Amino acid sequence: MTISKSQAAKAFGAALFSHTRRQNSFVNMMTGAAPKAVPKDKNNGKNQTEKGAPIVMINDLESEAGDAVEMDLFHNLVQRPTMGDKKLAGRGESLSKTAFELKIDQGRHVVDSGGKMSQKRTAHNLLSVAKTLLGNYFNDLQDEIAMYQLAGARGSYEADGIIVPASDDAEFNEIVVNPLQAATYDRHVFGGDATTFEGIDSADVMSLDVIENIALILEEQANPMKHIQFEADQMANESPFYVLFVTPRQWEDLWSSMTDRKVLELQAQASKRGQGFNHRVFKGDVIMWRNILVRKYNKPIRFYTGDTVAVAGNNKTGATSDKTAGTNIDRAILLGGQALANAYGKASSGTHFSMHTEKTDHENGRETSIGWMNGLKKVRFQDRSGRVNDYGTMVVDTAITL
């Protein structure tokens, strides 16, 4: 049986999507189980992964470049009950909801396969190479965009291996697809005794006291973040947890704030909470305190002394003003449920990914490209009073020493 080019492209697109989902990336680790149907009145009939995970993946094969995908959040019922023989008439509470929308767009990347002398391989071998190299590239790119979306900022950190350019680059907004949104006032925490971003000084470092403060905020807030609920986690409600991703330098400062005995205690707590729940988030070098699991992420959101950063004020709309960093600052990211939406549409192959190969240099060379239809955006909603808040994420800024 002969396989047509269109069939091969479609098979490649499906295989590449499966490959990217299997990789040990940040986005994959924090995304729930396989997609399942959502009631049409809740999300327009789209498929999405389990809703209690920090990252919710939405599959909508009918969407194309430039389209938007919508999620709805229904507010909790809060009005007083009707007691005794009082009449219910006129006391009904309306089902109110707020909508969240994100865009998807086409992204592409190309690989030069060299001249004829280096191309003595079949088309299927070329597809295999492209799937491996370009699939890994896509995961790295998606992880970076996800962290910037959750942090609400790109930061100024640069190093070999970082794909996304600085925020003042002409292509930055195109690459991230959905504009970054600074953390809302109620979801922004600072280290030490600092109460503002510009007030952070060199002593306001990451410590166990900072984690204590985060735990207290989560317990006392009127509209706290929802905890993480993976379907396989049988202790999700009895022992709810959040995940705090810290930079390597924040991790070192946190370590220095504890005795060796305390470190062992917190490592044991993380190990105990992860028992019977075989999830990657509990693997590796992690600690747990006050229901907050702490682990590292390795491409830090960093602001250097003198950097100008958009910071939200104490207002309903999340409006921001520019503040100046008074010292070197790293940003940690706390995740609860439904922190980030990750939406896919259909590429030209009819799947989430497409592939194209063409001859170049008077047919002596060959280039292979992949395309994808994707968009990521931090989830935020208005509460009943109209106040905008990031729904499942909080940022924690602390000073670091370079």
pLDDT per residue over 103-113, tens digit each?
A: 888 888 887 66
| pLDDT score at 222 | 81
Rounded average pLDDT over 19-28: 74
- Which tokens go with 14? 């499906």
Residue 37 confidence (pLDDT): 41
pLDDT value of residue 299:
95
Q: What mean pLDDT do residues 344-351 have? A: 71
Answer yes or no: is 312 within a domain. yes
* pLDDT(236) > 60: yes
Place 121 in a pLDDT band, splitting at 50, 70 and 90.
Answer: low
pLDDT for 383 beyond 50: yes
- Would residue 255 count as lying in a domain? yes
Instruction: Please report the pLDDT score of residue 346 as a whole number.
Output: 76
pLDDT at 353: 77
User: Which of 14, 105, 133 lies closest to 343 in space, CA to CA?
Assistant: 105
Q: What percent of the chain has pLDDT over 70?
A: 78
Give the pLDDT confidence score for residue 115 in this predicted structure.
53
pLDDT higher than threshold 50 for residue 343: yes
> Is pLDDT of 296 > 60?
yes
Write down the pLDDT at residue 138: 87
Lowest-confidence pick of 33-47, 193-207, 265-279, 380-394: 33-47
| Contact status, residue 124 vs residue 385, Cβ threshold 8 Å | no
Question: pTM of the entire structure?
Answer: 0.86
Q: Are 280 and 24 in contact (CB under 8 A)?
A: yes
For residues 162 and 6, the model is more confident at 162
d(CA 141, CA 138): 5
**Reduced 3-state DSSP string for the chain:** CCCCHHHHHHHHHHHHHHHHHHCCCHHHHCECCCCEECCHHHHCCCEECCCCCCEEEEECCCCCCCCEEEEEEECCCCCCCCCCCCCCCCCCCCCCEEEEEEECEEEEEEEEEEEHHHCCCCHHHHHHHHHHHHHHHHHHHHHHHHHHHHHCCCCCCCCCCCCCCCCCCCCHHHHHCCCCCCCCHHHEEECCCCCCCCCCCCCCECCHHHHHHHHHHHHHCCCCCCCECCCCCCCCCCCCEEEEEECHHHHHHHHHCCCHHHHHHHHHHHHHHHCCCCCHHHCCCCEEECCEEEEECCCCEEECCCCEEEEECCCCCCCEEEEECCCCEEEEEEECCCCEEEEECCCCCCCCEEEEEEEECCCCEEEEEEEEEEEEEECEEECCCCCEEECCEEEEEEECCC
pLDDT of residue 41: 39
Q: Is the pLDDT of residue 241 over 70?
A: yes
How high is the pLDDT of residue 35? 45
Residue 48 CB partners (closer than 8 Å, separation 6+):
35, 36, 38, 56, 57, 58, 59
CA distances from 89 to 77, 80, 83, 94, 100 (A): 17, 14, 13, 13, 33
Mean pLDDT value of segment 275-298? 93
Task: Name the range with the highest mean pLDDT among 118-132, 235-249, 358-372, 374-388.
Answer: 235-249
Instruction: Work out the pLDDT band at 8, boundaries 50, 70, 90.
Output: low
What is residue 313's predicted lDDT score, i.e. its pLDDT? 97
**Least confident residue range of 38-47, 114-123, 128-137, 227-236:** 38-47
Between residues 12 and 341, which one has the greater pLDDT? 341
- The span from the CA of 241 to the CA of 293, in Å, is 7
Let me know if residue 347 belongs to a domain. no
Nearest to 62, CA basis, from 343, 320, 298? 343
Domain region containing 231 = 183-339+387-399
Do residues 36 and 47 make contact, with C-beta atoms less than 8 angstroms apart? yes
Instruction: Return the ∠ at Cα 147 (arms to 143 and 152), rounded to 5°.
Output: 150
- pLDDT higher than threshold 50 for residue 100: yes
Q: What is the band of 287 on the pLDDT scale with cuts at 50, 70, 90?
A: very high
Instruction: Tell me, yes or no, whether 203 lies in a domain.
Output: yes
17-26 mean pLDDT: 69
Taking residues 225-248, report their average pLDDT: 92
In this predicted structure, the answer to whether residue 281 has a pLDDT above a threshold of 60 is: yes
Q: How many angstroms separate the CA atoms of 330 and 135, rounded?
A: 29
Query: pLDDT of 171-223, one tens digit each?
Result: 999 999 999 999 999 999 999 999 999 999 999 999 999 999 999 999 998 88
Position 35 in a domain:
no
Q: Does residue 282 fall inside a structural domain?
A: yes
Q: For 71-93, write each residue's pLDDT tens digit.
A: 666 656 657 887 888 877 877 76
Q: Is residue 176 in some structural domain?
A: no
Tell which wins on pLDDT, 65 or 27. 27
pLDDT digits (tens, 9 = 90+) for 302-335: 999 999 999 999 999 999 999 999 999 999 999 9
Is 90 exceeded by the pLDDT of residue 134?
Answer: no
Examine residue 230 and state whether it is found in any structural domain, yes or no.
yes
Domain count, the chain: 1
